[in-house]
Amino acid sequence: MKFYQRLAYYLFGCTIGAIFVYYMIGGKDVGCSYFPNARVLKDIRRKPAVYSDSARMLMQVLKIDTADVRKIMTYGDVDFGRSNKPTQGGKLYIVEGRNKQNEPIEVAVVNGSEKVLIKSFTKLK
């Protein structure tokens, strides 16, 4: 069998396999969160968020809105050196991100089993 015939068989098999995989997984909401940062942020985003009273006041003072918090919880970076510490109600995570004005913001979040408590905000320099 010549090379171009083997290549044709190979490409035909790959095409059939790709079509099969597309129909098996195509309609499902499948995502991959392999890295620790992505897993923690995904776990935080899937639970309902509750703001503490001090966090609500800091949101007004620092001019942060819920869209900024969502952006930080989607694209932020978890500081694992200061995070993953057990506290009352869950584990404390420090998430660093940027708001709409591109200013660095740090959010302290307590990740519980049923809900997420957003404790405080800090504007970084």
Give the pLDDT band (50/70/90) at residue 88.
Answer: confident
Q: Rounded distance, CA 36 to CA 38, Å?
A: 5
Residues 13 and 47 in one domain: no
70 and 57 share a domain? yes
Q: What is the DSSP secondary structure assignment for residue 123, as one 8-state letter?
A: E
The answer on pLDDT for 35 being more than 70 is yes
Whether 60 and 88 share a structural domain? yes
- Whether 57 and 112 map to the same domain: the answer is yes
Radius of gyration of the chain (CA): 22
Residue 109 has what pLDDT? Answer: 95
pLDDT at 103 over 80: yes
Q: For the chain, what is the total number of helices (H) and then of strands (E)? A: 4, 6
Give the count of domains, the chain. 2
Q: What is the mean pLDDT of residues 103-111?
A: 94
pLDDT of residue 24: 83
The set of residues, in sequence order, having a beta carbon less than 8 Å from that of 85 and lying 6+ positions away, is 91, 92
**Position 1 pLDDT exceeds 90:** no
Same domain, 5 and 50: no
Looking at the structure, tell me whether residues 12 and 38 fall in a common domain.
no
At 67 the pLDDT is: 92
Looking at the structure, do residues 48 and 103 belong to the same domain, yes or no? yes
Cβ burial 18-54 (10 Å sphere, 16+ → b, else e): eeeeeeeeeeeeeeeeeeeeeebbeebeeeebebeee
User: How far apart are the two ends of the chain, measured CA to CA in Å?
Assistant: 67
Give this prediction's pTM. Answer: 0.73
Check whether residue 26 and residue 52 sit in a common domain. no
What range defines the domain where residue 81 resides? 33-123
Within this chain, do residues 68 and 92 fall inside the same structural domain, yes or no? yes
Confidence band of 98 (pLDDT split at 50, 70, 90): very high
- Regarding whether 22 and 47 lie in a shared domain, the answer is no
Residue 47 has what pLDDT? 94
